[in-house]
Structure 1
Amino acid sequence: MTPWILGLTGGIGSGKSAAAACFDALGIHTVDADHAARWVVEPGRPALQAIVDRFGNEVLQEDGQLNRAALRTRIFSDAEERRWLESLLHPLIGAEIRQHLRQATSPYAILVSPLLIESGQYRMTQRVLVIDTPEEEQIRRTMQRDQVAEDQVKAILQVQAAREKRLQHAHDVLVNDRDLHWLQQQVERLHQQYLRFKGGQP
């Protein structure tokens, strides 16, 4: 039987990676959209060559890997270049995600994506779980984890889908404002529910 797909998302510092790790520990196949975004631009892949043809060798590191910081600088202030890059990468990332999801043998599989809603990747899923955290807690965790300034975290929050928009798409919401042990218990509870679902529906 083909596993149904759960989309797992949440804002920066919400704990979506920790929640995904809990599902993974329960034997559920997880695919991370961020990893897929890195795979499609590895050396030797056509997308990397297309990026170099467009922006030149300055977007490469000495070892031939994509220099993400240099590319970000090039597209950050140029909306047209950013759209070109998105139109190149989004279909490839989608194909990569689908390929990895097809390898799942668990009763359901999970697509973990910070931009699940904004990128339209939620259309690949039958159900959406949002890890939700009060904004002040997101800021505190991210500053602590990444050693970055508060205004930088707030800038990232601005780019990600507004919390309300994420919650509109949610079938399930897990408010992650306690410790890891509590999060594990909540994931276990949802997991037991999901095992009984057919195609993502009770």
Structure 2
Amino acid sequence: MLTIALTGGIGSGKTTVADRLAELGAGVIDTDQLSHELTADDGPMLPDLREAFGDGVFHSDGRLDRAALRQRVFDDPSARKRLESILHPPIRRMMLERLEVLDTPYAVMVVPLLFETGQQRLAQRILVVDAPEDVQIERVRTRNGLTVAEIERIIASQVPRNTRLANADDIIDNAGSPETLEPQIQRIHRHYMDLAVRTPSR
């Protein structure tokens, strides 16, 4: 089965592209969703997070306070590394386990921190969804209500845009409207379907 790693900066439109590819027949595994499963109410990683960061990143009812945790890790690089060391290994294991049971022409693994975590070798091709920084900022500000300063800090914590583009096998330009995005998704889907036919079965 052909494997694709889909990545891009915050607000670039990764989820939009992945959801559309899923509708077209791709098997999609989103690591952000895996992270939410692991840290949901009664999630298996909550005790580790409480031990590492204390009660301050939890609501009084025991639910994870995601905003408090996000603030904590972006204020303290060592806290961010600690969070990554807790969550990234189980996320990777879950991703590979779900990849093994997919029965689709090709698989798309959505990994926002693909290059930051050195996971680009897990896939045969890398698809980057790209958008200029000003577009990223406006989308995230509208979607999440974060301040421009907060969004800029998140962007600065990710690999530079030119690094993603230089390492991409395929690029979708999502700087414009949905009308310009759909034809690109259709083209890349047809391309992956063609490649999948020539990819040996596992």
Q: Same fold (TM over 0.5)?
A: yes
Change beyond 3 A, Cα 1:44–1:151? closer
Match of residue 81, structure 2, among 72, 80, 83 = 83
Change beyond 3 A, Cα 1:153–1:80? closer
- Kept after mapping to 2: 8 A contact 1:126/1:199: no
Secondary structure in 2 matching 1:174: strand
Secondary structure in 2 matching 1:90: helix
Q: Spell out, residue by residue over 1:47-88, the C-alpha distance to the aligned partner (whole angstroms, 9 max, x if none).
A: 221222333334332343222233334444444443333222
Counterpart mapping for 1:1-202 below 5 A: 3-197=1-195, 198-199=198-199
Report deviation, 1:44: 4.4
- What is the TM-score when the length of structure 1 is the normalising length? 0.86
Report deviation, 1:156: 1.8
- Kept after mapping to 1: 8 A contact 2:25/2:105: no
The amino acid across from 1:112 in the alignment is V
Secondary structure in 2 matching 1:115: coil
- Kept after mapping to 2: 8 A contact 1:22/1:187: yes
- What is the TM-score when the length of structure 2 is the normalising length? 0.86
Question: Percent of pairs identical after alignment?
Answer: 37
Report deviation, 1:43: 4.5
The amino acid across from 1:149 in the alignment is T
- Kept after mapping to 1: 8 A contact 2:6/2:111: yes
Q: Spell out, residue by residue over 1:14-48, the C-alpha distance to the aligned partner (whole angstroms, 9 max, x if none).
A: 22211112101102111111111122233545422
- Return the alpha-carbon distance in structure 1 between the equivalents of residues 134 and 77 of structure 2: 30
Change beyond 3 A, Cα 1:148–1:68? closer
The amino acid across from 2:181 in the alignment is L
- Kept after mapping to 2: 8 A contact 1:40/1:96: no
The amino acid across from 2:87 in the alignment is L
Structure 1 gap segments, 5+ residues each: none
Aligned residues: 198
Change beyond 3 A, Cα 1:51–1:158? same
- Return the alpha-carbon distance in structure 2 between the equivalents of residues 136 and 53 of structure 1: 38
- Return the alpha-carbon distance in structure 2 between the equivalents of residues 16 and 136 of structure 1: 16
Q: Spell out, residue by residue over 1:114-169, the C-alpha distance to the aligned partner (whole angstroms, 9 max, x if none).
A: 21111222222110011111222222322333333333322221111101111122
